[in-house]
Amino acid sequence: MKTFILLQLFLTISILGICQKDSINDSYLNLALLKVGYHNHHFKCGVFNYYNNCPNCSNDTLPFNAGIVNGKGKDFYKLIFKIQNTNDTIFNALFVWMGSGCIIYPFVNDCYDTTCYSPSPFIPTTNHVPKPSYIDYFNPGGGKVINDTIFKQRADSAWYAIDSLLVTNLFSSYDFKVGIFEYDRSSGGTNGNPDWIVFLYYNDIITKTTENENLVNEFKLYPNPASDKLVLSFPKDLKNNLILIYNMQGQLLLKKEIKDFKNSSDIDLKDLTEGMYILKLQNNKCILTSKFVKE
């Protein structure tokens, strides 16, 4: 089945002559934006790009800044999402009176034709990725939605429109984050043709938060796959360490504090079911992650 999907991916790109990123690249910040119809909850199109490394970006929430620029009263303004620290623009859209706004970037055809199609990796698969336990929600003004349960329930419909796409499955194999933004196109009057924008985000925190690359090479997990016990080896004297284990949906399953870390530490895996997990070691000097398999 996997071979068939990859073959279909190659044929789709070749026929349409459109180049899309189709794999996670640990050397960059990986970001996919997916457009979903607000009312019919149908996936419309997507864009998958690599961005500059972000050495100090958080991996706990989406490190985005949203701001309104070029405002001309209430009739016309732009809303721009940027990545903190690197200041790279990831989303740029117009809001116009009576709902005639459009997306300038990254959906470059949006201002001319709001119906769009993207080649693979936006093809559907048979595997539905579970909705992450934590999602960053953004209102039409770019502000984070914290306590509005009704808004979050509406926004979650966008997740179920993209949960089986190949690109979503690609991100789900990593410690990825999700955001959902309501883009209503209108600066007032009436809501013309709103969409949900789903952000899929992955930033390799091993290469981006470690000051010395030698630390990465000395960080080891064994045996891998493991059954009941996993050994974490790290030959540096580190203090006040925190070990976190997540499943592939980003849920925190195990937390262990180690005040003095000498050469190695055993981690009990008896309470984990079979599958792939992400282990994060963090302290005041570095943050390191690695994947392991429980069998």
- Name the residue ranges covered by the structural domains of the chain: 2-204, 210-294
pLDDT at residue 250, rounded to an integer: 66
% of the chain with per-residue pLDDT over 90: 32
pLDDT at residue 188, rounded to an integer: 60
- CATH T-level fold of 210-294: Immunoglobulin-like (2.60.40)
pLDDT at residue 114, rounded to an integer: 58
* CA atoms 28, 64, 109, 7: torsion sign: positive
pLDDT at residue 251, rounded to an integer: 74
121: tokens are 């990796």
Whether residue 34 is predicted with pLDDT greater than 70 in this model: the reply is yes
CA–CA distance, 290 with 288 (Å, rounded to integer): 7
**Which residue reads 């100090």 in tokens?**
56
pLDDT at residue 33, rounded to an integer: 95
Share the mean pLDDT of the chain: 79
CA–CA distance, 206 with 137 (Å, rounded to integer): 26
Q: Looking at this protein, which amino acid is placed at residue 212?
A: N
Give whichever of 10-19, 54-63, 230-239 has the largest mean pLDDT: 54-63
Using DSSP, state whether 47 is helix, strand or coil: strand
pLDDT at residue 145, rounded to an integer: 96
Whether residue 204 is predicted with pLDDT greater than 60 in this model: the reply is yes
Mean pLDDT for 216-232 is 84
Angle (CA) 119-106-37 rounded to 5° is: 70
Q: Which helix (H) or strand (E) holds 254?
A: strand 252-261
Whether residue 231 is predicted with pLDDT greater than 80 in this model: the reply is yes
Q: Which residues, 6 or more positions from 248, have their beta carbon under 8 angstroms from its beta carbon?
A: 172, 173, 174, 275, 276, 277, 278
Mean pLDDT for 46-69 is 84
123 φ, ψ to 5°? -80, 150
pLDDT at residue 153, rounded to an integer: 96
Q: Which residues, 6 or more positions from 246, have their beta carbon under 8 angstroms from its beta carbon?
A: 175, 252, 253, 277, 278, 280
Mean pLDDT for 215-227 is 80
Residue-level length of the chain = 295
CA–CA distance, 279 with 258 (Å, rounded to integer): 14
pLDDT at residue 102, rounded to an integer: 86
CA–CA distance, 52 with 243 (Å, rounded to integer): 28
Whether residue 227 is predicted with pLDDT greater than 80 in this model: the reply is yes
CA–CA distance, 7 with 9 (Å, rounded to integer): 5
Question: 229-233 and 264-268 as β-strands: parallel, antiparallel, unpaired?
Answer: antiparallel
CA–CA distance, 10 with 15 (Å, rounded to integer): 9
Mean pLDDT for 37-54 is 90
- In the β-sheet with 64-72, what is the strand arrangement from edge to edge? 64-72, 76-83, 89-96, 103-105
Q: Which residues, 6 or more positions from 60, have their beta carbon under 8 angstroms from its beta carbon?
A: none
Residue 139 banded pLDDT, cuts 50, 70, 90: very high
Task: Tell me the CB-side half-sphere exposure of residue 218, using CA atoms within 13 A.
Answer: 14
